Structure 1
Amino acid sequence: MTEALKRDYRICEEIGRGRFGVVCRCEPLRPSAAPSSASSLAVKSIDKSAVSGDDLDAHCLLMEPKVLSLLSPHPNLLRMHNAYEDSSHLHLVLDLCDSPDLHRTVASAGPLPEPEAARILSQLMRAVAHCHRHGVVHRDIKPDNILFDSRGRLRLADFGSAEVIGGGEPAAGLRGVVGTPYYVAPEVVEGREYGEKVDVWSAGVVLYVMLAGFPPFYGESAPEIFGAVVRANLRFPPRVFRSVLATAKDLLRKMLCRDVSRRFSADQVLRHPWLTSFGGAEATELQTIA
């Protein structure tokens, strides 16, 4: 652990562990080491020795701090406050989000009521739209990476798979199967060039999971899941979707559209009637905060 990190923060208990390292709660020791609103933060310590020689692993290790430093602050993005590096580790000081993530929330509570799902999707798509305006494609949007802070506000996390493609107009040019099988877009599986709309597809799967409690495309193995994703046969089982509004199903069809040219952008999702009917007031509030 670097001397600079120990000088700036008190490292506290471990709150998470992943493939490449651990996450601990930390407390700033100097006023300059934290935003005025935070008494506790999190430090994500990535063990460089756990990263293989595989180019993708090394890429993921380096991309997260790079991408987070490119993105301007947004209320629905996990913010990086400092980064430290020594010969063995990369340490990222981030916002602390110790509430259950969306995966754990749905796993314990089951399908969410439509107003709650709309509230979450509104915040998620504002984060995604912000990323896309800065030319950043997240590429791994899934419930596990959708966190909540102590105020209950959504924070999109884990930019290790992200890429920068340039802001402004819709872009393509990315290649490579990156992401989680249930949430990856068909064009990624098929090896075609792709752009920021892969994030909209993944967010559409997240919405389906929130409303149904299970993903729209599934199988017993990764190849089976990928096959279902490519077929993109979107169904709404009556036992689950009987009481779900027709406008919600319409939005899902537009987000989980196999034809990328017809698939909604993040901004189009935010303007959809289902979302504005439930989350219009909050959307205005979040825009003001941003």
Structure 2
Amino acid sequence: MLSLSELFFSKILLLKRFVSNVQIIEGVSEKERLENLGILKDFGEIMLDKRYITPAQYEQVRLIQRHTLLTCKSCGLKYHLDELAAEDHFQCEVCQAIIISLSELASLDLEPLLHDQSNSSNLIESEFFKLESSHSASVDTTSPSAVAHKHSTLRFSSLDESLSLLGSKIANYQLLEKIGEGGSCVVFKAETPQKEIVAMKLLKNTGEQEENIVRRLVQEAKLTKKLRHPNIVQLFDSGSEQGYYFLVMEYIQGETLREKILREIQLNPSEAVDILEQVLYGLEVAHKAKIIHRDIKPDNIMITQDGVAKLADFGLARGMNIDAHITKTGLIVGTPYYMSPEQAQGHSLDHRCDIYSLGATFFYMLTGKVPFQGTTPIEIILKHISKDVESPKKYNPHIPDEICYIVFKMMAKDPANRYQSTQEVLKDIHRIRLCLQLPYQKTFTCICGEPYTYVPQYPSSIRQCRKCSYQFWLPPPHSQSRVTYFYPDWKEIVLAKIAINHGWFSPQEAAQFLILLIEAKNYGIEKEAEDIFGELGLGRDRVFRLQQELKNIIHEEESTALFGQIALQKGYITLSQLRSALRHQQQNPLYIGEILVQQGTLASSHRADVLSYQNKLVASPLDIELRKNLLQEKNISRSLVQTCFREVVERSSKESNLNLARLLLERNAISRHQINRQLYEIFQQILLSNAFSF
């Protein structure tokens, strides 16, 4: 049987005269045949496979589907037509009203939806629903990567007004493409003077009272500029110009948590716990900065293409212990379906209101249902205040009791009975993971951009990309709870160079070896260089020869070009002491640094300092090359790259293992696979140069 969205797809195919009735019937028969075999396949893909439609026609109909909105008249919630995976009938997730049935959709004339988007007649309406094109609808389809609070009285006067802004500049941001629209705002993909891509949300004021509201929100948004974490959508700028109030945020490609759940109905407990954990890490940073979010909900959590959860929409955030109302407007800030009892009653708030809202969101992840349902916002709010939340097991019996406990404690009515901090929730999550041995899915992206979904496990294993044949580690559990990035030391680069000189590795294979070595360090995988050589197919005899040649080079280079010269330059040893150690080395196969320490002429701390300086001789050129390459990338902040590079230069004399890659990851400016791709190219250049010829 076709789902509602597939039925809609088939009707548009017929209206567009892309297919005949006979071809539709054959496509439905093929779908039923596959389902009987246990194979689930989208109807549109079946029509593509049978070559009844072209890829261009498929995309054209999908675009119409994505731009068609179904509105529940009972509660006003809106759905995209491509979200309706239900069969027989579709029930509103909030008020539980049956909006539309399969038979009703089958009988509808969808011709009005194909009218020109400037035509106001592209609306289909019944007692329970409205169907309309999102091009003409005054509805919020804003990406949460640039969302602020919605005020229905603040709006653009017409669609043409927002479109007329394309190509123009506001506050030095060039508006490139419209990516979202709401009754109060329009969101654009924009470009900074440094050619960085950002998301810019514009709100237009229409009166003095609304102007004061939005000015206050923009002012509050400035609080969040200092929040930098991989699990937070970063706010870059805010202000007003040319009659528009604007927020400039990180541009993210992905989907909201709500969109993900609508597509998947409900998440398995392991994946839900994983997303909760990531959001908690981001929220922890905000709470430490004494900022509360006040509007945590599935629409304000973004899931990137790499599977990273990011908390968005800090436009409503304020400092701790504030009033839940916005001064004299009488407007309660927050979303009724996820609002804490104290927030609903207008009491003073602290960080525990966020824990409640995140608990309600966690409930939605596990069940696909909101915790409390009602026909009006007031009814829902009253239930948050007075009614106990039902067990998630009612909707998903496979949820472990330990996870239900976390939901109940996060959503306790009295803030004193909740978790008192994000750290307390994280502690219980980690304990439950160990007890239940929960598998959970992660997404890893190869340097070519190909995504992989996997269940982290020990020991980690090396996989080969199905697209580009590149080899990579699948990160083990909890490998990215903190941001790290280690460069290889000079000896490891020398090993790779020796392997090339012998013809055992190509420059590409040697560069791949170095990336695998880096990621083993970053992920805490206990693998040495010889282990990784073995993983890449290099025999034991060749690995032994590599190690012997490296020792010969180290003895020569450490004493003359590297260790000895650095130790002399720093004044740690004299020339006569170095010569004495060199004579001793002829009878003892030790590193020159070890000999100097044994002879008592060099302190262990000084030896560590010299070795650290040696590593910086490698790190500095890598940072210079990485900076040069990243400045050529369009989707990476040039100004942030320059700022981080200057910071590395200033701090490197005081901090070990500090490099440009690590700072950019900490600033949430780049992903690991992007850095790995850049270093993969840089390593090839270095290994082919004379910089490491022995």
Answer whether TM exceeds 0.5 for this pair: yes
Counterpart selection for 2:210 from 53, 67, 70? 53
Aligned residues: 274
Residue 254 of structure 2 aligns with which residue? 99
Q: Is the 8 A contact 2:341 2:385 kept in 1?
A: yes
Q: CA deviation at 1:195?
A: 0.9
CA RMSD in angstroms comes to: 2.7
User: Is residue 2:401 matched to residue 1:246?
Assistant: yes
Does the 8 A contact of 2:171 with 2:241 survive in 1?
A: no
Of structures 1 and 2, the larger Rg is shown by 2
1:274 aligns with 2:274: no
Note if 1:21 corresponds to 2:185: yes
Report the counterpart of residue 169 of structure 1 in structure 2. Answer: none
CA offsets 1:243-278 (integer angstroms, 9 cap, x no match): 101111010111011121121121111111236765
Q: 1:287 aligns with which of 477, 482, 496?
A: 482
- Aligned residue in 2 for 1:37: none
Question: Which stretch shows the higher mean deviation, 10-19 or 208-217?
Answer: 10-19
- Contact residue 96 and residue 149 of structure 1 kept, 8 A: no
Quote the offset at 1:18 in angstroms: 2.5
Residues 52, 284 of structure 1: CA spacing in aligned structure 2 closer, same or farther, 3 A cutoff? farther
1:183 aligns with 2:347: no
1:136 matched to 2:291? The reply is: yes
State how 1:203-214 maps to structure 2 within 5 Å. 203-214=358-369
- In 2, the alpha carbon distance for the partners of 1:184 and 1:51 equals 29
Matched residue, 2:240: 85
Using the alignment, how far apart are the partners of 2:335 and 2:171 within structure 1?
A: 37
Q: Which amino acid aligns with 1:233?
A: D
Cα deviation for residue 94 of structure 1 reads 1.6
Residue type matched to 1:174 in 2?
A: D
CA gap 1:173/1:81 in 2 versus in 1, 3 angstroms: closer
Deviation at 1:28, TM superposition (A): 4.2
Partner of 1:11: 175
CA contact (8 A) 2:170 2:241 kept: no
Q: Which residue of 2 aligns with 1:216?
A: 371
In the alignment, does 2:255 pair up with 1:255? no
C-alpha separation in 1, matches of 2:266 and 2:229: 28
Change (3 A) 1:131 1:19: farther
Equivalent position amino acid for 2:220 in 1: M
Question: Aligned in 2, Cα 1:191/1:103: closer, same or farther, shift over 3 Å?
Answer: same
- Report how far residue 161 of structure 1 moved: 1.6
Q: Is the 8 A contact 1:5 1:84 kept in 2?
A: no
Unaligned residue ranges in structure 2 (runs of 5+): 1-164, 326-331, 441-455, 457-475, 485-665, 667-694
- Shift of the 248–259 alpha-carbon distance from structure 1 to 2, 3 Å rule, reads same
Letter in structure 1 aligned against 2:323:
L
Cα contact 1:146–1:157 (8 A) shared by 2: yes
Cα offsets for 1:82-129 (capped at 9, x unmatched): 445313113333211231201111112111011211111111111111
Paired position in structure 2 for 1:41: 198
| 1:174 matched residue in structure 2 | 323
- Farther-moved stretch of structure 1 (93-102 vs 124-133): 93-102
One-letter code aligned to 1:269: V
Q: Which amino acid aligns with 2:180?
A: G
3-state SS of the aligned residue for 1:14?
strand
**What CA distance in whole angstroms lies between the structure 1 residues aligned with 2:338 and 2:395?**
20
Report sequence identity in percent.
25
**Deviation per CA, 1:62-86, whole angstroms, max 9, x where unpaired?**
322x1222x3311111112344531
- Matched with 1:200 is 355
Output aligned runs, 1:114-153, within 5 Å. 114-153=269-308
Structure 1 counterpart of 2:210, one-letter code: G
Q: Which amino acid aligns with 1:267?
A: Q
Secondary structure of the 1:155 match is strand
Post-superposition offset of 1:287: 2.3
CA distance in 1, matches of 2:214, 2:247: 17
Contact 2:176/2:190, CA 8 A, preserved across alignment: yes
Q: Residue 16 of structure 1: CA displacement?
A: 0.9
CA apart distance, 1:52? 4.2
Give the secondary-structure state (helix, strand or coil) at the position aligned to 2:191. Answer: strand
Shift of 1:217: 1.5
Change (3 A) 1:221 1:51: farther
Query: 1:185-210 CA deviation, whole Å, 9 max, x = no partner?
Result: 01122232221100000000000000
Distance 1:104 1:222 in 2: 22
Give the counterpart letter for 2:324 in structure 1.
Answer: R
Q: Per the alignment, in what secondary structure is the counterpart of residue 337 of structure 2?
A: helix
2:232/2:282 contact within 8 Å kept: yes
Question: Secondary structure of the residue that 2:277 maps to in structure 1?
Answer: helix
Once the two structures are TM-superposed, the CA of residue 19 in structure 1 deviates from its matched residue by 3.6
Give me the whole-angstrom Cα distance separating, in 2, the residues matched to 1:7 and 1:145: 26
Question: Within 1, Cα distance between the matches of 2:249 and 2:259?
Answer: 21
1:114-165 Cα offsets, whole Å, 9 max, x none, are 1211111111111111110000010000011111334332221112221112
Deviation at 1:222, TM superposition (A): 1.0
Residue 639 (structure 2) aligns with: none
2:340 maps to amino acid: A
SS of match in other structure, 1:241: coil
CA distance in 2, matches of 1:275, 1:60: 39
Counterpart of 2:185 in structure 1: which amino acid? G
2:380 aligned with 1:225? yes
Change (3 A) 1:8 1:275: farther
Q: Which runs of 4+ in 1 moved over 6 A?
A: none
What is the DSSP-based 3-state SS (H/G/I as helix, E as strand, rest coil) of the residue aligned with 1:92? strand
SS at match of 1:90: strand
Cα contact 2:392–2:404 (8 A) shared by 1: no
Secondary structure class of the residue paired with 2:480 = helix
